[in-house]
Amino acid sequence: MKHRITLFKGDGIGPEITNELKRVFKALNLDIEYDEFLIGEDAYQKYGVLIPNDAIESIKKNKVALKAPVTTPIGKGFKSVNVTLRNIFDLYVNFRPAKSMPGTLSKYDNIDIITFRENTEDLYIGDEYEIEDGYIAKKKITRTNSERIIRYAFEYALKNNRKKVTCIHKANILKKSDGLFLDTFNAIKSEYPTIESDDKIIDNMCMQLVMDPKKFDCLVAPNLYGDIVTDLIAGLIGGLGMAPAANIGKDIAIFEAVHGSAPDIKNMAIANPTAFFLSSALMLDYIGEKESANKLKNAIEETLKEGLYLTRDLGGNAKTYEYTDRVISKL
């Protein structure tokens, strides 16, 4: 099947890992055409905007985008590229699976946790104002957006044979906003009697994740707490270099590696492309290329398990292209 996707090579190590991914897609014999655009810091330097309008129109047309890490220039007035894209296309689901794989430096094994993070509101609306001795930031939690992310988590659990959904909150302190999120969770969970459910206060959740992560399955959280726990969980499976992500809306999805653009190692051929490869596997699954997605995931796992061609962050000394060569050989 032929596909056209919007592709953002990103900044820093972004172009390197994007080129490696193209080699993988070619080895998988995928018929994919790319509409490529600059976004982020490089786009700002060239066009004076972080996200050119042509890039936005391309996403509207193709419905699917793949994004390498980008850099938002440091300075006042620049809103995160990621947050902007999520708001433009109402990508209300941040889907973050975290699964233990061999060959990492993690002290844990057999972790398999999926986090469903509400992606459009909470403190990330960026509404701040000045007071006499500082600033106040507004937190927005609505029933509509809480309901759709919570229902998405339960529906996914039901369709994918997951056993449990845990709600993360701070309703003991934020009784109205987080209270609404928790109340919505408690109202919806009764519609899914075959799925076990419970809730955890965010600070307790972080402690329990570190002490015994294996007892958790699916997590659903408002934006800020979801951001925090997904990075924590990434640390449990070997770091952000192993963490894929998808931002999903009603009919548009953007897939991305969640780690930064790492400008300090740009063009050094030592970047780990695993997270971007795994994010691309999520995209392949989304567009109906399930066989290729599974082949890619299996090839990555076999490469990591073998341990002969690991990048520096995984404890090896392989170049980025050498790691990719090995993944391709396993396809």
What gap in Å lies between CA 283 and CA 5, rounded to an integer? 10
57 neighbors 245 (Cβ within 8 angstroms): no
Domains of the chain (ranges; CATH) run: 1-93+242-331 (3.40.718.10), 107-236 (3.40.718.10)
Q: Residue 107 — pLDDT band, cuts 50, 70, 90? A: confident
- Torsion angle of C-alpha atoms 261, 275, 47, 128, degrees rounded to 10: -70
Question: How many other C-beta atoms are found inside a 10 Å radius of the C-beta of residue 77?
Answer: 5
Calculate the average pLDDT of the chain. 94
Backbone φ, ψ for residue 137 (5° rounding): -110, 135
Query: Between 41 and 275, where is the model more confident?
Result: 275
**What pLDDT is stored for residue 106 in this prediction?**
87
pTM: 0.94
Q: Please report, rounded to a whole number, the percentage of residues in the chain having pLDDT higher than 90.
A: 85
Phi/psi at 92 (nearest 5 deg)?
A: -80, -15
Q: Average pLDDT of 267-296?
A: 97
Q: In angstroms, what CA-CA distances link 222 with 79, 93, 115, 254, 265?
A: 20, 10, 11, 19, 33
pLDDT of residue 74 exceeding 70, the answer is no
